Amino acid sequence: MKKILFGIIALVASTAADAKTLVAYFSRSGNTELVANQIAAATGADTFRIETMDENFYPSDYTATTEQAKQEIADGTLPEIKPVPDMSEYDVVFIGSPVWWGCVATPVKTFLVQNAMTGKTVVPFNTHAGSGTGNVHTDINEMTAFATAHLDGIAIVGSDAPNSSETVNTWLKQIGQISE
């Protein structure tokens, strides 16, 4: 019995070690990118920055961007994004977004509509200005209903993003994505 148990543990450990991981994220201000890079550094994951086709799609002014985001959410607008990597290569996909009016950013919605995440483990993360998670993790999990698994996400205050690596590493250990 012990041999079987140790064999199963070894198989699970080797499968987790062999899993190829991607951190896909959208970042307007750079805060979500900082957290994405911390996740990638700790896990050895590839990164993919979700970008709109038009580099000037969002205004440089924060307030103007929030108004545009509010309108996109109300209208169901999905902005066109640049091509994504071959998702068939990945087993685990971290998906990062700022909180926009309590929701996932619309470029991330476009990414999720184009990539169902069937058979993948999905891990949401977000940055915010004080609102917490909002519906971001729920939005991501609902849009990836065919994923094999959904792990608990994390929300980081944007101003804390530059110094959040310890918090991120603790979370990654808790969800089993890095070892103790």
Residues 105-150 pLDDT 10s: 999 999 999 998 999 999 999 999 988 888 999 999 999 999 999 9
pLDDT at 7: 35
pLDDT score of 120:
97
Confidence (pLDDT) at 55: 85
Residues of the chain with pLDDT under 50: 1-16
User: In 3D, which of 87, 92, 85 has the Cα closest to residue 148?
Assistant: 92
In the prediction, which pLDDT does 18 show?
A: 65
Per-residue confidence (pLDDT) for residue 56, from 0 to 100: 84
The Cα–Cα gap between 99 and 105 comes to: 6
pLDDT score for 5 = 32
Phi, psi (deg, nearest 5) at residue 107: -65, -30
∠ CA 171-173-175, nearest 5°, is: 70
Structure tokens at 18: 């062999």
In this prediction, residue 116 carries a pLDDT of 84
pTM exceeding the 0.75 threshold for the entire prediction: yes
